[in-house]
Amino acid sequence: MKFTFSLKPENFIIERDDERCIRCGACVQQCAYNAHYYLEEKDKVLGINHNCVGDGRCVAICPTNAIRIKQAENPYRPNYNWTKERMMDLYEQAENGTVLLVGMGAPTPHPVYWDKIVLNASQVTNPSIDPLREPMEVKTFLGSKPDKIEVVFDKNHKPEIKTRITPQLELEVPIMFAAMSFGAISLNACKSLAKAASEMGTFWNTGEGGLHKDLYKYGKNTIVQVASGRFGVHVDYLKAGAAVEIKIGQGAKPGIGGHLPGEKVNHEISVTRAMPEGSDAISPAPHHDIYSIEDLRQLIYSIKEATDYEKPVFVKISAVHNVAAIASGIVRAGADAVVIDGIRGGTGAAPKIIRDNVGIPIELAIAVVDERLRKEGIRNHASLIAAGGFRNSADVIKAIALGADAVYIGTAALMTLGCHVCGMCYKGICNWGIATQRDDLTKRLNPEIGAERAKNLLKGWKHEIQEMLGAMGINSIGSLRGNRLNLRAVDIHEPYLSILGIKPAGA
Amino acid sequence: MNSITIDALNLYYRELNFKIKEAVRKEGIKKVIIKNARGQRFIGTGLKEKDVEIIIESGVPGNDLAMFMDGPTVKVFGNAQDGVGNTMNNGKVFIHGDAGDVICYGMRNGKIFIKGNVGYRVGIHMKEYKDMIPSIVVGGKAGDFFGEYMAGGIGVVLGLNNDDKPIVGRYCATGMHGGVIYIRTEKIPTYLGKEVKIFELNESDKEKLKSLIEEFCQEFKEYKAEDILKSRFIKLIPVSKRPYGRLYSPGNHFPLPEENYFSNKKIDIEKKYY
Ligand code: SF4
Ligand code: SF4
């Protein structure tokens, strides 16, 4: 039985300036959501508002700038409790009885503390530094640091470090590309990020999708992920990367597994993941060999054994209520870095209800984890990497001042490739050739251009970070790490002030 | 054949595994015999040398035996613990005794033969791709969740020991979406995963089963392949490669306007806009 009695309001209105439109057909051909069509008898190009997802592809490509996309008004009676979105969701579920899927990070109005934290600058009492003319170090090493360093002198009084330093990742800029699997995103998107990372001296992450044969050459700048589905995981894969990341959780979907729908599993993906074409790629919610911190230690050390102790092993979790205690356990389990993904972290597909309601903001998580590890005297045993909705270099530098060593950017990285955060990634027909495996769509993303643009973003952010450091009178990012005195809060109140461990502005 | 014997008594797992790797990689040893294993983890983990044999003559190896292993053969003359063949890529493992939980999790290829019983969640999320078909043969009985999430490969449970326990525990094959399970039984296991259906074996099943059981009996000599193959087996295969396809919302669909209203002018704009 199929019946519909719900109003199905559109989200966007497509406006076209008919005077300008030259009937080139670009919008018609390019919109995978079929939001434009050509009406031959009237020689007009028309829009289907209902189909528009607002990803801006047509606006960007229209040669005469004829298209405007506007937000559609709420056709329902305004109601604070029953917003348009809630009503639409409910009607959809009444029809299908399904779990609602979404892509990208939570758009919910959970407070973004970054916007309420301000940075310090030097005035009179200490000089600021000009990064254009003076050295300014932003190089960062990720990995476990020894408690002390023993130096011995040989006969000729030459010093030599006796302490064995465990493997480290060397980052020219403390920003890496977050885990996004080949599967969730296209090979061209992976290539863009891999190339950008290797040219900028930072790292990209395979996500749980194995490593495509074309990407092995970026191995030196690759972090390979091991998640519960163990797709594409074998010794050569573990050894191909510079570090191995065990994924326990993801900010957008804490506590639940992954699920790449069968229709996305095409030939290349099936080869890379070593699974049949067209079969669902299901990652179980937990790793079934990890039911405790002791088990996690076992997986960490099995990877270290398999890679002959040559690669740092990261553990990624989503920021949840007991994140500080969990992070402490992870460090004690032997991880070289803890990755924490906050509630605003992105995804290719997740149940909406989980994405929007589970987890805690990354700002609070960084603060409590750094604090806890310091108090326990184990902060040096592992690096802390933060992720989840970083939008600009100020967010990054604030995260570092709160206690992170480096950050992962996912959504921001995809935006350099054209993503307009439409949130339709789970449909697999991304107009920008990113979250799709359809050949006609993926070829729209040129990996050379993509890499250039992703590189530009990192360059820009690096310069900005240097400027902000210089303004604070600091000449090395290491001196800012966990230096919360350089942060002040505007309009943040207790208890969050003490959780963040920063003073209110003016104090 | 060049071989060495390592006495594992009082050796920490890292030292033991380091010795094994050194012997195999540096000295080209083909046969490593380990005496007095005392629960050392990760034996054989990540080894790639195809013609190497690791024999655990006495004692019990620890968890994650042969994890990520990619070629060698491991034999244990006794029991093994949890995680045997975890994410294993290739090679063979023979256990002349019982093994613990989560055996061959996410295994990609190779074969595991266990003479005795196994614990919970064995064979879960095994994969398969073209001629990479992993298999596990359990001579005894299996605990709950055998073959859970199985995405490929072959799981066989023989139940050759005569205790009165069920041959597989509850929730066998839950979430299974690929591969096949053969169980030597007349009875339908309780709480079978609802993603599978029970079938009779066809000729190709019988052939696959025969070659696995023959290999099993070659190692565990007290059993005769003909005897085992005379018994009745059931076969479990998933009904769908996409067990949860309908759980999630299809979201918006993007209908085309009436066909005659639509003219898809083909233009080559890729060149202009990447
Ligand atoms: S892309 Fe612009 S000019 Fe071309 S058909 Fe569409 S609206 Fe008209
Ligand atoms: S990756 Fe594509 S589908 Fe996903 S939000 Fe960005 S533009 Fe939309």
Q: What is the pLDDT of residues B64-75, one digit of tens each?
A: 999 999 999 999
Rounded-to-integer distance, Cα A202 and Cα A457, Å: 13
Rounded-to-integer distance, Cα B74 and Cα B53, Å: 6
Residues of A numbered 234-293 whose beta carbons fall under 8 angstroms of chain B's beta carbons: which are they?
234-236, 238, 259, 261-262, 270-271, 274-276, 278-280, 282, 284, 288-289
Phi, psi of A37 (to 5 degrees): -145, 160
Give the closest of B45, B127, B177 to A306, CB-based: B45
Q: Do A261 and B274 count as a contact with CB atoms less than 8 A apart?
A: no
From the CA of A53, give the closest atom in ligand 2.
8
Residue B264 pLDDT > 70:
no
Instruction: For residue A160, give every residue at least 6 positions away whose Cβ sits within 8 Å of its Cβ, in sequence order, or none.
Output: A151, A152, A153, A154
CA of A62 to the centre of ligand 1 (A): 5
Nearest to A12, CA basis, from A308, A423, A460: A423
Residue B56 pLDDT > 90:
yes
H/E segment holding residue A478: helix A477-480
Average the pLDDT over A421-442 and give the result: 93
Strand partners, B53: B31, B73
CA of A410 to the centre of ligand 2 (A): 12
Give the closest of B17, B70, B255 to A305, CB-based: B17
pLDDT at B250: 64
3-class SS at A313? strand
CA of A295 to the centre of ligand 1 (A): 58
Nearest Cα residue in chain A from B63:
A298
pLDDT at A261: 75
Give the fold, CATH level 3, of A5-98.
Alpha-Beta Plaits (3.30.70)
Q: What is the pLDDT of residues A129-146, one digit of tens each?
A: 998 889 999 999 999 999
Considering only CA atoms, which residue is closest to atom 2 of ligand 1? A62
Using the Cβ of A4 and the Cβ atoms of chain B, whether some distance falls under 8 Å is answered with no
Q: What is the pLDDT of residues B8-53, one digit of tens each?
A: 999 999 999 999 999 999 999 999 999 999 999 999 999 999 999 9
CA dist A48 to A27, A33, A258, B104, Å?
12, 10, 33, 51
Average the pLDDT over B228-232 and give the result: 93
What is the pLDDT confidence band of residue A78, given thresholds at 50, 70 and 90?
A: very high
CA of B262 to the centre of ligand 1 (A): 15
Q: What is the pLDDT of residues A338-370, one digit of tens each?
A: 999 999 999 998 999 999 999 999 999 999 999
Average the pLDDT over A146-164 and give the result: 91
What is the pLDDT confidence band of residue A498, given thresholds at 50, 70 and 90?
A: very high
pLDDT at B270: 46
Q: Which of A87-96, A395-404, B103-112 has the lowest mean pLDDT?
A: A87-96
CA of B267 to the centre of ligand 1 (A): 12
Contact B123/B151 with Cβ under 8 angstroms? no
Residue B271 pLDDT > 50:
no
- Which residues of chain A are within 8 Å of residue B16 when distances are taken between CB atoms? none
Q: How does DSSP assign B191-255, residue by residue? A: T--TTEEEE---HHHHHHHHHHHHHHHHHSTTS-HHHHHHS--EEEEES-S-TTTTTB------P
pLDDT at A3: 53
Q: What angle do CA A197, A238, A255 make, to 5 degrees?
A: 85
Rounded-to-integer distance, Cα B176 and Cα B196, Å: 7
Q: How does DSSP assign chain B, residue by residue? A: --EEEEE-TT--HHHHHHHHHIIIIIS--SEEEEESEES-S-TTTT---TT-EEEE-SEE--SSTTTT-EEEEEEESS---TTTTTT--EEEEEESS---SSTTTT--S-EEEESS---SSTTTT---BTTB--EEEESS-B-TTTTTT-EEEEEEE---S--SS-SB-TTTTTT--EEEEEE--SSPPTT--TTEEEE---HHHHHHHHHHHHHHHHHSTTS-HHHHHHS--EEEEES-S-TTTTTB------PPP-GGG--------TTT--
pLDDT at B116: 95
Rounded-to-integer distance, Cα B60 and Cα A251, Å: 40
For the CA of A15, the nearest ligand? 1
Looking at chain A, the whole-number percentage of residues with pLDDT higher than 90 is: 79
Average the pLDDT over A432-460 and give the result: 95
Q: How far is B223 from chain A (nearest CA, A)?
A: 32
Phi, psi of B178 (to 5 degrees): -170, 170
Q: What is the pLDDT of residues B81-125, one digit of tens each?
A: 999 999 999 999 999 999 999 999 999 999 999 999 999 999 999
Under CATH, to which class is B79-242 assigned?
mainly beta
Q: Where are the beta strands (DSSP E) in A11-116?
A: 12-16, 36-39, 44-47, 67-71, 101-102
Terminal CA-CA length for chain A: 65
Two tokens, residue A398: 């604030």
Provide the sign of the torsion angle of the four alpha carbons B24, B30, B35, B37, taken in this order. Answer: positive
Extents of the domains making up chain A: 5-98, 140-504
Q: How far is B176 from chain A (nearest CA, A)?
A: 10
Contact A468/A119 with Cβ under 8 angstroms? yes
Extents of the domains making up chain B: 1-62, 79-242
Is the CB of residue A29 below 6 angstroms from any atom belonging to ligand 1?
A: no
- Mean pLDDT of all residues in chain B? 88
Is the CB of residue A25 below 6 angstroms from any atom belonging to ligand 1?
A: yes
Q: Do A99 and B257 count as a contact with CB atoms less than 8 A apart?
A: no
- Mean pLDDT of all residues in chain A? 93
Using the Cβ of A136 and the Cβ atoms of chain B, whether some distance falls under 8 Å is answered with no
pLDDT at A95: 82
Under CATH, to which class is A140-504 assigned?
alpha beta
CA of A416 to the centre of ligand 1 (A): 24
The amino acid at residue A409 is I
Considering only CA atoms, which residue is closest to atom 8 of ligand 1? A21
Task: Given the cut 0.90, state whether the ipTM is greater than it.
Answer: no
A157: number of Cβ within 10 Å: 6
Q: Do B124 and A40 count as a contact with CB atoms less than 8 A apart?
A: no
Give the closest of A32, A92, A302 to B249, CB-based: A92
Q: Do A29 and B265 count as a contact with CB atoms less than 8 A apart?
A: yes
CA of A80 to the centre of ligand 2 (A): 28
Rounded-to-integer distance, Cα A394 and Cα A399, Å: 8
pLDDT at A217: 95
Residues of A numbered 35-94 whose beta carbons fall under 8 angstroms of chain B's beta carbons: which are they?
35, 37-40, 46, 48, 50-51, 53, 60-61, 63, 92-93
Give the closest of B68, B127, B272 to A274, CB-based: B127
Strand partners, A283: A258
Q: What is the pLDDT of residues A303-317, one digit of tens each?
A: 999 999 999 999 999
Pocket lining for ligand 2, CB < 6 angstroms: A 55, 103-104, 414, 419-425, 430, 432, 434-435
Average the pLDDT over A319-323 and give the result: 95
Burial A283-317 (b: 16+ CB within 10 A, else e): bbeebbbbeeeebbbbbbbbbbbbbebebbbbbbb
What is the pLDDT confidence band of residue B269, given thresholds at 50, 70 and 90?
A: very low
Same topology for domains A5-98 and A140-504, yes or no? no
Is the CB of residue A57 below 6 angstroms from any atom belonging to ligand 1?
A: no
Looking at chain A, the whole-number percentage of residues with pLDDT higher than 70 is: 99
pLDDT at B162: 77
Pocket perturbation via mutation, ligand 2, pick of A101, A180, A185, A422 by most ligand atoms within 8 A of CB: A422
pLDDT at B8: 93
Rounded-to-integer distance, Cα A381 and Cα A478, Å: 16
Contact A215/A222 with Cβ under 8 angstroms? yes
Considering only CA atoms, which residue is closest to atom 8 of ligand 2? A422
For the CA of A104, the nearest ligand? 2
